[in-house]
Amino acid sequence: MTARNNDLGDSDLAVRNADPSLYNEDLAPLPASQRTWGWFAIFNVWSNDIQSLAGYTLAASLFITAGINGWCVFAAILLAGFIVKLLVDLSGRPSVKYGFPYPVLARASMGVRGAQFPAIVRAVVAVFWYGAQTYFASTAIALALNAVLGNPEGAEFLGMNWASWASYVLASVLQVALFLGGIDRIANFLNIVGPGVYVVMIALLIAIWVQVGPSLPQAVGTLFSNDDVTGWAAVAAFVGVVGTMIAYFAAVVINFGDFARNVRSERAMRFGNFTGLPLSLALFTFLSVFITAGAYLLYQDGEGNPLTNPADIVGLVDNVPLTVLAAVTFLVATLGINVVANFIPPSYSLSNINPARISFRTAGMITAAAGFVIGALWVAVIANIGLPRFVDTLGAVLAPLYGIIIADYYIVRKQRLNLNDLYSADPNGIYHFTRGWNQRAVVASAIASVFSILTVWLPQLAQLSGFAWVFGAVLGGLFHWLAMRGHVVITSADDR
């Protein structure tokens, strides 16, 4: 079997004698003639990821709970944006070079069969995020529905009434419809939605600022800071915010190749990452903290706590046109990035388990069904954990896999891969290892994961919870490098 090769100029990406159990059209290298994304498409992937309702809630939660000056929180989030930019430059480069998605890159470090392990882990994490984001998207629909029906009441099931359930089901259906439209239609969708979210947030900020008055900038710096958080405690809080924000992007960081394979050049990818991460994150965080502080001065929940969901804040602003516009905009923004970041990656990963039987579209339907269950449990179960801890836990699971894949490609293999062997089940293949599994990499991942997860849940390591992703990635890469020394054959440049 030969991978798709619709252009003679792309013959260098053809896969010879690919095994059907490791290959289908979606996992094959993407020819250069089919790579249509420029830097703006990558910019919008990140902008929409940042602009989601969950992204706002996380930023607002960190601003409220960190206990340090609001401007320090802003600086920490911005620093995280630069770090994530560097991380995705690394994870995206192999896919720009070879045109394959993340599960295929994972075969080089984990083995052609062992790659199912990181692919499944990534899929599970994505399904959790998909369900969470679907719930947040449904709150925007509920906002509009309640405005029209006058906040209808009724019996609740799993913490939601009938209006919330109707909103949740509708959000789920809309996401599946968007997914079925294909990657190019999704990219075009994001290109429209991304700028629209900023227009709505700026309008919301203006509406709040007019009511609060000129004291809002001072409130941003001091409103939620704690006089007891000083010295090294303040430094730890700052770094903790950085770590949590890195963990928020962890799900996309590890499989960024799923998107980078569509980009025309590495230069376009890097520029898209720069504009979409540090710059877009700075603007979104600036708007988020000002809106959160202003909303706290004007409104709180029933117990006097600050509001962290912009849909709730919009619902309290006495401006009906803005309420309707914001509800629609937040909905489509969250739906769009949820499909890109949490629907497409597990679809590739699940297809990688059995490419001959599980198509990309079939895997997407599996993702939708599992994510629906997770999102349905958000209010009654998962929300009680707290979003920062939820983010840190998912990041701790993925971090060692990122470290292993990056260390393997850049340090162990010197950025050289044998494309044919990545799709070959031949026992003599470079990436076959032991029955297709690189047991050393699996052990390295397991050991590093235990430590990174413990930093989130073990009280004695509570001060390190914000560093869970960083520790996991560094330890995973280090353990893999130590385990693989002397056990790898470096391919020649001609094996590209």
Residue-range domain boundaries for the chain: 42-399
Q: What is the pLDDT of residue 494?
A: 41
Q: What is the pLDDT of residue 97?
A: 92
- pLDDT by residue (tens digit) across 3-62? 433 332 343 456 777 788 888 887 889 888 888 889 988 988 887 777 766 677 777 777
Which amino acid is residue 474, in one-letter code? V
Residues in Cβ contact with 446 at an 8 Å cutoff, skipping those fewer than 6 apart: none
- pLDDT by residue (tens digit) across 138-170? 877 887 777 666 666 767 777 777 878 888 888
Q: What is the pLDDT of residue 91?
A: 94
Phi-psi region of 415 (alpha: psi -120 to 50; beta: other; left: phi over 0): left
Q: What is the pLDDT of residue 7?
A: 34
Which amino acid is residue 1, in one-letter code? M
Which amino acid is residue 270, in one-letter code? R
Asked if 266 and 96 count as a contact pair (C-beta separation under 8 A), the reply is yes
Q: What is the pLDDT of residue 34?
A: 86
- pLDDT by residue (tens digit) across 331-362? 776 776 677 777 777 777 777 777 777 777 78
Residue 32 burial (C-beta neighbours within 10 Å; 0-12, 13-18, 19+) = middle
CA atoms of 271 and 305, how far apart (whole Å): 40
Superfamily of domain 42-399, CATH level 4 = Hydantoin permease (1.10.4160.10)
Residue 269 pLDDT > 70, yes or no?
yes
Q: pLDDT higher for 392 or 245?
A: 245
* DSSP SS3 for 157: strand
- Beta bridge partners of residue 37, listed in sequence order: 263
CB atoms within 10 A of CB 428: 7
Asked if 253 and 167 count as a contact pair (C-beta separation under 8 A), the reply is no
In the numeric block, the tokens 């914000």 are attached to: 466
Q: What is the pLDDT of residue 274?
A: 94
Q: What is the pTM of this model?
A: 0.77
Region 369-374: what's the mean pLDDT? 84
In the numeric block, the tokens 């915010």 are attached to: 241
Q: What is the pLDDT of residue 71?
A: 80
Asked if 300 and 18 count as a contact pair (C-beta separation under 8 A), the reply is no
Kindly state the tokens that stand for 458.
């073990």
Residue 492 pLDDT > 60, yes or no?
no
Asked if 204 and 313 count as a contact pair (C-beta separation under 8 A), the reply is yes
Q: What is the pLDDT of residue 21?
A: 81
Kindly state the tokens that stand for 494.
């001609």
What integer best gives the mean pLDDT of the chain? 79
Maximum alpha-carbon separation in the chain: 71
